[in-house]
Amino acid sequence: MAGQGRGRGRTQFNFNVDALGFGRGDALPTATHTPSPLFPPMQFRPVPLHTGEEVEYMLALKQELRASSKNLPFHIRAARTKKDVARYSDKYQTKEQKDNTIEWSPDWSRFPKELCIKVQKARKSSGKIQPKLKSENNSIQRRGSSKTRGTLEKKEEEQHSEEEEDEKKKKNDEQEEEDPDVDQDFEEEELEDETDYIMSYFDNGEDFGGDSDDNMDEAVY
Amino acid sequence: MTAQEVRLCGLLLQEHFGDVVEKVGTHLIRCGVLTLRALAHETKLPLDLVKKSVCVLVQHGMCGFGPGRRGPAGPVEYHVNCEHILHMLRYPRYIYTAKSLYGDTGELIVEEILQRGQMTMSNTIRTVADRLTHNMPEGQTMDYSEVVTAFSRLVETHFLQRCPPSESSSGSGDLPQAMKQPSDPESHPDCKGKRRRLSDDGEMDQRAAKKAKKDNNECADEGIYWQVNFERFHLHFRDQAIVGAVSCKLDQTSSEIVRTMLRMSEVTTPATAACTQALSANEIFRALPSTYNIERPILDQYLALLVDDPMEFVGKAGDSGGGMFGSRSARIFRLLLRKRHLEQKQVEDFAMVPAKEAKEMLYTLLSENLVQLQEIPKTPDHAPSRTFYLYTVNQLPTARLLLQHCYKTVGNLIERRQFETKENKQKSQRIEAILASLQATEADATQLAEVEEMITAPERQQLESLRHHINKLDSSENQVDESIFLLESYVNSTQTSR
């Protein structure tokens, strides 16, 4: 820039400053260390905006788009955490967006499978789906084993998502939700050690001798 | 991505899709490429919300996914396409263009597809027909075939394109490029005309028949999604800008000539070519619209004129000097653009600006990096007293700088608008609360009306001025976006030709 020598690192100005237009001894502005401020001061008024039918129309379009995009299912709001005590009636009230439901149905065949959120609607049989070995955080992922199954599932989801939501259906949903949970746990445990026996039922007899030593006097009923 | 671009992307995502998507999106932009778990972990959001957000972004084409670093067996990695997010600024312009070219039907089609990211043809047609029917007088229904025609024409002229076929979920294989389908209306599936109640239309195939449920108009095009082809719209805008510039510089007739030339080269020239294919004067003459009675010799004269014009037609470096620095600085800037290199003294003379002012302005432009100083030594030792100092403008870096300024401007405009809305929301909420409480106490109609008038008299003015401000800010956003488009085109085309 103006005041820097070419790689010599000297700060004094030993050239003819008149050639650049400012006199000797004039205060030079300090070098900028930071990006310019967010709203830099303006000395001149800006040129007036265009007006006209086209401009008005585009303005209206823009505002309309903005307003309508808030109503689309793509506008995602985090589910509000309950601030109050959990109540029994919550189960029967229509909820706002839950975190683990998706309000629109994308074409899952075009998306990576890991993005699929479990959408619990009344299922005919829960045995169709094989759960993953590991469950991630709080969500339970379901993996359709083939694409046709995936599309059939999708059909079912669509079918149910288009029905009116009423409380009974919500109840069903939650019952269904609990069932696969239980199934999941069972299957998880089974798969842990790959044995035929459920591990929690196994009693390896270590406690047997210790207990009986203490209470020989009492009869065992 | 630069800081200003990231900021602007964040604001746009927040406006359209909410805070959650904004958080996820901006984080992904900053990190480049991430897996889903890393994204959830770093943003500290629940995994489900992150999944939903990524779904939204993928649906709109703003996020892509592919096999990760560990290959197809590893987790999928996601990255953001920032340009797509910035295109959201231009949605009104796309819709307006579609309206001017293809009428209300075209406008609604483009609007639906823009809002939903990608859609099947049948879905689009159905939704648009419903909307049009809604707006029509009672008893009339929109004929599907009209909508189908409009859709087909949009596809033929490449304003709509097919989405690339889905990659397999494990991410193996290359991501195919977006395909532009040949302009063959027969190639996309047929959709029935008027709405029918029966599901056994002869032309549906078995797959569709299996899926026929409530929705009896199921068409055989599941899995074929269409999206808006932004590049094509940009070409159109570019042509418009060129024609506009020519008509400003020369006159209406020459702009018509240029428009004809551009239209003829639409199909022969690839989009990013620096200049169109050579067209003979005969071809141009034949292609001119008949409304302009241009004689052959006059055409030749015009062509000669256009050729001699030193202005570059494809994009120009920004002319920002006028706004921030005054019109005289603009004059100096333009002068430097044209003459490339000038000395201090020459600047004064050519710009017809007094010496002192010229120096000040040059120095201001210099400190803003719009103008550079070039040294030309006369002697090997670069002695300052014997060196020429020339002012010059480097177009490409200057254009980039101005582009960043534009992004910053739009970000500022959006933030200001949000601030205004938020401030006045409280006021308008108060008014509504008063009205609601009045209604609760069952005041009768006249009392309500009185109170309403009383309350809102001073505040009505405030609301009016708020509306006025917001309109102005919105309008400014649209117009700054026009500059953004010009600068972006310039930067992109200059870069590719180097």
Interface A–B counts its CB contacts (< 8 A) at 174
User: Which whole number is the average pLDDT over A59-75?
Assistant: 86
Question: Of the candidates B274, B308, B342, which is a domain's last residue?
Answer: B308
Whole-angstrom Cα distance, residue B152 to residue B147? 9
B13 and B36 in a common domain? yes
Question: Which site among B49, B51, B473 would you substitute to test the A interface, given the most A Cβ atoms closer than 10 Å to its Cβ?
Answer: B51
Position B416 in a domain: yes
The CA-based angle B145-B112-A163, given to 5 degrees, is 90
B409 and B357 in a common domain? no
**CB distance from B211 to chain A under 8 Å?**
yes
Residues on chain B touching A100 (C-beta within 8 angstroms): 48
Residues on chain B touching A39 (C-beta within 8 angstroms): 412
Spans of chain B below 50 pLDDT = 168-218, 310-323
Of B12, B32, B34, B8, residue with least CA distance to B21: B12
Residue type, B278: A
User: Which tokens is B461 given?
Assistant: 């003015």
Residue A130 contacts by C-beta under 8 Å, 6 or more apart in sequence?
A: A143, A145
Look at chain B and count its residues: 498
In this prediction, residue B420 carries a pLDDT of 85
B299 and B248 in a common domain? yes
User: Given the DSSP bridges, would you call strands B225-228 and B119-120 parallel, antiparallel or unpaired?
Assistant: antiparallel
B76 and B37 in a common domain? yes
ipTM: 0.71
Of B377, A22, B336, residue with least CA distance to A3: A22
Picking from A2, A39, A138, the nearest residue to B366 by CB comes out as: A2
Whole-angstrom Cα distance, residue B77 to residue B37? 10
Position B12 in a domain: yes
Bridge partners, residue B76, by sequence: B67
Whole-angstrom Cα distance, residue B43 to residue B27? 7
Question: Which site among B12, B44, B47 would you substitute to test the A interface, given the most A Cβ atoms closer than 10 Å to its Cβ?
Answer: B47
Whole-angstrom Cα distance, residue B178 to residue B165? 8
SS3 B71: strand
* Secondary structure (DSSP) of B233-264: HHHHHHHHHHHHHHHHHS-HHHHHHHHHHHHH
B403 and B380 in a common domain? no
pLDDT averaged over every residue in chain A: 59
* Secondary structure (DSSP) of A21-58: T--TTPPPPPPP-SPPPSS---SSPPPPPP-SHHHHHH
Q: Are B85 and B48 in contact (CB under 8 A)?
A: no
SS3 B377: strand
In this prediction, residue B300 carries a pLDDT of 66
Position B8 in a domain: yes
B76 and B17 in a common domain? yes
User: Which whole number is the average pLDDT over A179-198?
Assistant: 50
Radius of gyration of chain B (CA): 28
Q: What is the CATH number of the domain that holds B373?
A: 1.10.10.10
Q: Is A21 exposed, middle or buried (0-12, 13-18, 19+ CB in 10 A)?
A: buried
Model pTM score: 0.66
Distance from the Cα of A78 to chain B's closest Cα (Å) equals 7
Residues on chain B touching A117 (C-beta within 8 angstroms): 48, 51-52
Question: Of the candidates B61, B84, B107, which is a domain's last residue?
Answer: B84
**DSSP type of residue B389:** E
In this prediction, residue B301 carries a pLDDT of 66
Higher pLDDT: B44 or A39? It is B44
Distance from the Cα of B279 to chain A's closest Cα (Å) equals 33
B51 and B28 in a common domain? yes
Q: Is B403 exposed, middle or buried (0-12, 13-18, 19+ CB in 10 A)?
A: buried
SS3 B322: helix
B42 and B74 in a common domain? yes
CA distances from A119 to A10, A104, A124 (A): 69, 11, 14
For A43-66, what is each residue's pLDDT tens digit? Answer: 666 677 777 888 889 889 988 888
User: Which tokens is A164 given?
Assistant: 């009116």
B374 and B287 in a common domain? no
Between helices B445-497 and A53-69, what is the axis angle to 10°?
100
Position B89 in a domain: no
B344 and B295 in a common domain? no
Q: Which residues between 117 and 176 in chain B have a beta carbon less than 8 angstroms from any beta carbon of chain A? A: 117, 163, 166, 169-171
User: Which tokens is B3 given?
Assistant: 């800081």
Q: Structural domain of residue B420, as residue ranges?
A: 399-424+488-497
> Highest mean pLDDT: which of A10-24, A183-197, B42-56, B415-429?
B42-56
Judge: B477–A19 Cβ closer than 8 Å, yes or no. no
Q: Is B144 exposed, middle or buried (0-12, 13-18, 19+ CB in 10 A)?
A: buried
Residues on chain A touching B175 (C-beta within 8 angstroms): none
Picking from B52, B213, B476, the nearest residue to A76 by CB comes out as: B52
CA distances from B286 to A22, A121, B257, B290, B293 (A): 60, 64, 11, 9, 12
- Percent helix, percent strand, percent coil in chain A, to nearest 5: 40, 5, 55
User: Which tokens is B357 given?
Assistant: 């002012």
In this prediction, residue B219 carries a pLDDT of 52
SS3 B115: helix
B278 and B303 in a common domain? yes
**DSSP type of residue A19:** G
Of B3, B13, B4, B12, residue with least CA distance to B53: B13
Of B1, B39, B4, residue with least CA distance to B20: B39
Question: Of the candidates B353, B376, B393, which is a domain's last residue?
Answer: B393
Judge: A112–B91 Cβ closer than 8 Å, yes or no. no
Whole-angstrom Cα distance, residue B333 to residue B368? 12
Q: Domain-by-domain residue ranges, chain A?
A: 50-76
Q: Is the pLDDT of residue A200 over 50?
A: yes
- Please state the domain count of chain B: 4
Residues on chain B touching A6 (C-beta within 8 angstroms): 375, 382
Phi, psi torsion values for B115, nearest 5 degrees = -75, -30
User: Which tokens is B392 given?
Assistant: 């010059």
In this prediction, residue A140 carries a pLDDT of 40
B412 and B355 in a common domain? no
Whole-angstrom Cα distance, residue B5 to residue B24? 16
Residue type, B118: Q
Whole-angstrom Cα distance, residue B8 to residue A61? 20
CA distances from A135 to A188, B42, B138, B165, B222 (A): 9, 19, 54, 30, 32
Higher pLDDT: A136 or B46? It is B46
